[in-house]
Structure 1
């Protein structure tokens, strides 16, 4: 092999793709900083102040009978405490959202989903009242696909940190808790580690794969160059 060619290829390719290595190293630094400055993801826990089972007056079968869509079949039924009263949270086959039927008097009220989400957010924030600002059915730049759960409600707290929480009524928990400082760190990490500044996922994956492969080539050339240029034994 031509040692000069390998040396030049290693030098220029290394210079060309050194930005990728710097960004990867930078994302590692930011990741360590985030583990120190940001709390771990919120744990799923029951919301509300407890469930008074003595208030349940109708059965699950009676509750589902209140829903015409239930004739298609029911995939899941949960009992939720909303506003101090028990509600059946019913998921009907073929529908994405939940239906709510009072376990006390059998009335149907679709507005209980948002009310339930608001109570989850308030409980998580120590009783503070947050305002609903969005309902997400798709991931975006802040609520990215690593959080996995959709749909979610977004609630904002009017404080100096601009705190916001994302709430799932399916799990009955907060799926993400962030603020401006945390999001600033997360944005840097996403841009450095996963090239989040490229909006198109297919193009982003192509660029990441190409640059990572090129970095491997540079490393392999360096290994070849080491053995080709090492001093010969007498």
Structure 2
């Protein structure tokens, strides 16, 4: 029994030493995540901007049937999968998502004007309401996730707008949901990068390799814990045996 305990103790010591770095990384970044969740506020609500406050239903003269007729004049095979009504620049607009298109097609509910450029304008108004400043700049239109807007946010495509202030505030906006999907600034992003690199190993760009290494280190830490519990019971039995003898 003592020989078995000796080898278990050795395995526990050296394997534990090997995986202690990854345990420290995970636990330390876990504390960072706790700090982030306590110190960082939720994404800002939309400010009460006139263009976003309500939809002027009384002004609408174009029906949804008319909308599709107007679109089919330009694209005869157009098929709608979603139709929303949005208040943009003080007027009601139909937001039509067609099969095969990433961006929506917009039709004015008063004049019947078809204008695809209203998608960016709608996103800008959402960003203006969230950032609370007129000095914003569109930096990107994302159709794929990147190191800052990662897959956990789940919604694509999105627009990125920056306020260009001292804090480096920026928001990611979805015109599909009509909302801010992520709000951050330079300080928050530094904390998020620290957590992502130490806890989820985002510095490894290849996802399959990253997941494999994370799985191996987690399994190793689990194995070390099992060895520790096993060693506790074995040495406990040995001590009781020596005392009774």
Structure 1 and Structure 2 fold alike (TM over 0.5): yes
Residue 21 of structure 2: which of 2, 19, 22 is its match?
A: 19
CA shift digits 1:110-144 (9 cap, x unpaired): 11000000000001122433110000001000001
Q: How far off is 1:49 after superposition?
A: 3.1
Cα distance between partner residues in 2 of 1:93 and 1:33: 43
Kept in 2, the 8 Å contact 1:44–1:172? The answer is: no
Asked if 1:55 corresponds to 2:63, the answer is: no
Partner of 1:147: 153
Q: Distance in 1 between matches of 2:137 and 2:87?
A: 20
- Partners of 1:80 and 1:88 within 8 A in 2: yes
Equivalent runs, 1:1-234 vs 2, <5 Å: 2-42=4-44, 48-68=52-72, 69=75, 71-230=77-236, 231-233=239-241, 234=244
Gaps of 5+ in 1: none
Task: Provide the rounded CA distance (Å) in 2 between the counterparts of 1:94 and 1:162.
Answer: 35
Contact conserved, 1:136 with 1:153, CA < 8 A, in 2? yes
Call closer, same or farther: CA 1:220–1:154 in 2, change over 3 Å. Answer: same
Which residues of structure 2 form unaligned runs of 5+? none
Could you list the runs of 4 or more consecutive aligned residues of structure 1 that deviate by over 6 angstroms after TM superposition?
Answer: 44-47
**Is the partner of 2:53 in helix, strand or coil?**
coil
Q: CA deviation at 1:171?
A: 0.5
Please state how far the C-alpha of 1:45 moved relative to its aligned partner. Answer: 9.3
CA deviations over 1:46-72 (Å, ceiling 9, x no partner): 971322112211111001111124744
Pairwise CA RMSD = 1.8
Q: Does the 8 A contact of 2:159 with 2:172 survive in 1?
A: yes
Question: Does the CA contact (< 8 Å) of 1:44 and 1:171 recur in 2?
Answer: no
1:99-118 Cα deviation digits (max 9, x unpaired): 10111111111110000000
Q: Which has the larger radius of gyration?
A: 2
Higher helix share: 2
Paired residues of 2:143 and 2:157 also in contact (CA < 8 A):
yes
**TM score, norm. by length of structure 1:** 0.94
Say which SS state the counterpart of residue 232 (structure 1) adopts: helix
CA contact (8 A) 1:45 1:172 kept: no
